[in-house]
Amino acid sequence: MPTLKRTGIEIAILCSLALVLGFGINAVRGRDSINLTRNYFPPTSEAAVPTPAPVVADGGAEDMNVLPDDVQPDGLSDSEHKFSHAASEFKTITVEETIEFFNDPNTAAGVYLFVDARNDQAYAQGHIPGAVQCDHYRLEEFIDSVCQAADCAEKVIVYCEGGECEDSILLCRELLMADIPRDKLYLFQGGCQEWSANDMPCEKGDSP
C-alpha cells in the first residue's frame, strides 16, 4: 500500500510540473502562443442547403429527380461546385459580382472593403489588390483594425482560398460577433482560386 501511495504522489507531482512547464512555454511563444481564452471552434449556425429548382419533364409535370447534366444534387453547376464552400448562413456573391464590386470606385474610396481571411504565406503569395488581411487563426492581431475599417464601409467582402477552405465563413462569424452588421457582410465563396481562374489581377506582398 505505501508503494501505491508513493507512486500516486509522484504521478501528481509530474502532472503538476508538466502543466507549469506547458504554460511557461506557451507564455514565451509570443504571437505563436495559444490563446487559452479563445474558442477556436465556434458553434455553427444551421444553414439551409439550397434546393434545386424543379425541372419540368416533357409531359409538363414537375420532376424533382431530374437535373440538368451540369448541375449537382446541391443545385450548383459543375463550375460553381469546383470553387464553392459548403452552404453557410451568410449572403454569398459570385465571381462576376465580386469583380463588379472590385471595379466600382467605391472600393478605391474604402466604401467597399475586401478582407482576406488567409494566413501570411497565402496572402503574400497573391491576394485581391487592396484587400486587408485578417487571419482567422490569429484574430487578435487583426480584428481591431479590420473592424475599424469595416465600421466605415458599406460592404465588406470576405474571401479565402475557395473550395474546401472555409476560413472566410469562420471570419464572417467572428466579424458578426464583433458587431459588424450581417447585412454588410458578403461572402465570396470562390475565393482566390476562382479569382485567379478568371484572369483577375493579384497583388503580392505582406499585409501592410
> What value, to the nearest 5°, has the Cα angle with vertex 182 and ends 181 and 187?
130
The residue ranges of DSSP E strands in 64-194, in sequence order, are: 92-93, 112-116, 132-133, 155-159, 185-188
Each residue of 79-94: pLDDT tens digit? 444 555 556 689 999 9
DSSP string over 120-156:
HHHHHH-B-TTPEE--GGGHHHHHHHHHHHHHH-SEE
Pick the range with the lowest mean pLDDT from 6-10, 92-96, 168-172: 6-10
Structural domain boundaries in the chain: 2-32, 48-75, 84-197
pLDDT for residue 62: 43
For residue range 117-131, list pLDDT tens digits in order. 999 999 999 999 999
Model confidence at 5: pLDDT above 60: yes
Cβ atoms 179, 185 nearer than 8 A: no
The C-alpha cell 507549469 sits at 20
For residue 104, the model assigns a pLDDT of 97
* pLDDT for residue 197 is more than 80: yes
For 62, the grid coordinates are: 414537375
First to last CA, the chain: 64
Average pLDDT (9-22) is 72
Q: What is the pLDDT of residue 165?
A: 84
Tell me the DSSP string of 6-24. HHHHHHHHHHHHHHHHHHH
Q: Return d(Cα 129, Cα 7) in angstroms, integer.
A: 62
Within 13 Å of residue 50, how many CA atoms lie on the same side as its CB?
20
Beta bridge partners of 158: 115, 187
**pTM as predicted:** 0.62
pLDDT score of 73 more than 80: no
So what's the pLDDT on residue 68? 44
pLDDT value at residue 21: 67
Q: State the pLDDT at residue 11.
A: 80
CATH classification of 84-197, choosing from 3.40.50.620, 3.90.78.10, 3.40.250.10, 3.20.20.10?
A: 3.40.250.10
- The average pLDDT across 97-102 equals 97
Asked if residues 117 and 168 have their Cβ atoms less than 8 Å apart, the reply is yes
Mean pLDDT of the chain: 78
Closest to 92 measured CA to CA, from 172, 180, 177, 202: 172
pLDDT at residue 181 greater than cutoff 80: yes
**Which position has the higher pLDDT, 182 or 1?**
182
Contact 115, 128 (CB under 8 A): no
Q: What is the mean pLDDT of residues 52-79?
A: 45
